[in-house]
Each structure stands twice: as structure tokens, then as C-alpha cells.
Amino acid sequence: MSELLRVEKLCVRFPARDGATVHAVENVSLSIPRGGALGLVGESGSGKSTTARAIAGLQLPSEGRVLLSGEPFGPGSDRATRQRVQMVFQDPQGSLDPRRPIGWSVEEPLVLQGAGSPLARRARALAALDACGLDPRLAVRYPHELSGGQRQRVAIARALVVEPELVILDEPTSALDVSVRAQVVNLLCELRRRFGLAYLFVSHDLAVVRRVCEDVAVMYLGRVVERAPRAELFGAPRHPYTQALLSAVPELGREFAADPLGGDPASPLAPPSGCAFHPRCSRRAEVLGNRCALELPHLVERAAGAVACHLAEPPVTRP
């Protein structure tokens, strides 16, 4: 499978008060094959949305780069290139104009693109609504006349109407009622198959990620600590943080708690030394000496995935 997206050593830092720096994203490298789906999970504040925005070209990276089909991609890319990547947010209100009928909101990206005749644009907008499971007759309705699930379908139609190759979904089902959530997840799976889309899927809901994505990356305090194919990640998680996240989900479908592990989730303003997870890690004592507190573990490629943990390294053999 050919590679569509490559993210190399992405860093996003924000200036904070008193000259401090928020290390929102540190050294994140990822890739997604054409038509593939990568899930991005982690607690609130771990840098998922900032990573998503930087990949979508909505946020200039402090360091590192984003490549689309091998070409640099970002806020400076031309319109046609930028339309190859679309983003869907948790709250569709943000991308829908409350004063315009939804058909207009779905057609607008085509207008901005200057694509085709008004008639052809209208037809494409209606086809996008239809593909997203909405009766095209709803096109004349306003956002407030629709349910939350319908509004999210409109936001998805608006993203798809320009025929993107990569769709970045940031918690796309988190604001929806549980009963509607499964329908939207099914729709996203169906759309991916039908249009050969690739997804970067940010979610708190591990069951949803498991359903949608064949690869998963786990973030902790701005860094990817584990990356693996779905079966390996859910079947045999290797990072103590991933293990804790999974054990904190007693029933599938339940979101993990904001703080599933107890203890201080720490701040990206002052990440702990060494492995940022070490103050909360139940297994750090298994590592000889004070290595977890002193030395940053690198993400090391292993069979089926990569993990950043000193515990995952083969034990040092002494002569």
C-alpha cells in the first residue's frame, strides 16, 4: 500500500505566561497509507487535537514536517492541495453557518473552489448529503432544525464534497447521544470503503477506534508512546500507559475517564524528566536504577508497531 500521509518529528509549542512554553506536541512521527485509518487516543490534554490541526494545515508546526504523497503540506499549500485533506470536528455547529440552509453549507467549499456550474455544484452537494444518509430534501433546512446526528452528517458531507483523500476526524462522535453514535460510526466506515478515504481518527472512545481503525497511536503528554496494528494494541498492549488505558475501560463502548490512572496527569508546561509517564507508572520499579526518571525512552520500532518504554527493551546482559 502506498503512503499517503507522513508526519516527521512534528513539534507544536505555544508560548505561555512568564516566558514558559507549552509542549503540546513533541517529536510525533506517523504515517497513514492510502485508504488506511489511524486512530489517535490518549487522555485529554495529550496533544491529539493539536496534532490533528497541524496535520490538517490549520496550525503551523514549530518543528518537523507533514508530507502528503511525499510533498510538503501545510498552511502555505495551494487551495487544490489543501482540499485533499479535510477536517471534521466534534461540534458541527462550528463548521455550519446557522443563518444558511445546510445545502448552502455543503455547496460552499465548491463555490470557493470555483468548481463547475452552479447547477453541477448543487448536484454534487445533494449527492454528498445523500451519501451521508440525509434526504436531499433536507437541503433547504437550517442547522437548528436538525438533530445533532443529522448536523454531524452535514458536516461530514461538507468535508466529503470536495473529494478529499484524507479526512481528519477530531472526536466526531463524542458530542452525540450513544444511540446515534453507532450510526455515525457505521456511516464513517461505509464512506471510507466507498470513496477509498484515509482517516486520522481522534477519539476518547476506544471501542469506536477499534471498530474504525486498523492502526492505533497512543499519545501521552505530547508524545506518541505506542503505535501498533489494532489487534496487537488491543490484544497485547506493551506500554504501561496503554495497558492502564485499556484496563480502565471495563465495558467496551464506555469512554475512559478523564483521569483513568489516578495521580497527577502532569502538565505540558513542565513535563516530568525522563519518561513523562514515570511518576504515574506502576511498573517503573522493574527497571534497574533510576532510568525512567532520567532518560527519555525513544519510540523503538518492533515487530508490529513501536513502543517508547525502557521496560520494553531487552534486559541488559552482564558479562
Ligand X SMILES: Nc1ncnc2c1ncn2[C@@H]1O[C@H](COP(=O)(O)OP(=O)(O)O)[C@@H](O)[C@H]1O
SS3 63: strand
Smallest gap, in angstroms, from Cβ of residue 22 to Mg ion?
14
Angle, in degrees to the nearest 10, between helices 118-131 and 102-113 = 130
Q: Give 68 or 219: the residue with its C-beta nearer to ligand X.
A: 219
Smallest gap, in angstroms, from Cβ of residue 44 to ligand X?
4
Q: Give 164 or 268: the residue with its C-beta nearer to ligand X.
A: 268
Smallest gap, in angstroms, from Cβ of residue 258 to Mg ion?
12
Q: How many CA atoms lie within 13 A of 58 on its CB side?
A: 13
Q: Give 7 or 24: the residue with its C-beta nearer to ligand X.
A: 24
Handedness of CA 141, 146, 150, 156 (dihedral sign): positive
**229 alpha carbon, distance to own chain's centre:** 15
Residue nearest to Mg ion (CB): 49
47 binds, among ligand X, Mg ion, none (CB under 5 to 8 A by kind): ligand X
Smallest gap, in angstroms, from Cβ of residue 48 to Mg ion?
5
Q: How many CB atoms lie within 10 A of CB 75?
A: 12
282 binds, among Mg ion, ligand X, none (CB under 5 to 8 A by kind): none
Quote the Cα angle for 257-156-51, to 5°: 50
Chain residues in the site for ligand X (CB under 6 A):
14, 22, 24, 42, 44-50, 268
> Distance (Å, rounded) from C-alpha 164 to C-alpha 301?
30
Smallest gap, in angstroms, from Cβ of residue 44 to Mg ion?
7
Quote the Cα angle for 138-141-146, to 5°: 85
Smallest gap, in angstroms, from Cβ of residue 45 to Mg ion?
8
Chain residues in the site for Mg ion (CB under 5 A):
49
Closest among 206, 214, 243 to 226, alpha carbons compared: 243
Q: Give 27 or 50: the residue with its C-beta nearer to ligand X.
A: 50
Q: Give 49 or 86: the residue with its C-beta nearer to ligand X.
A: 49
Q: Give 61 or 109: the residue with its C-beta nearer to ligand X.
A: 61
305 binds, among ligand X, Mg ion, none (CB under 5 to 8 A by kind): none
Closest among 103, 108, 109 to 138, alpha carbons compared: 103
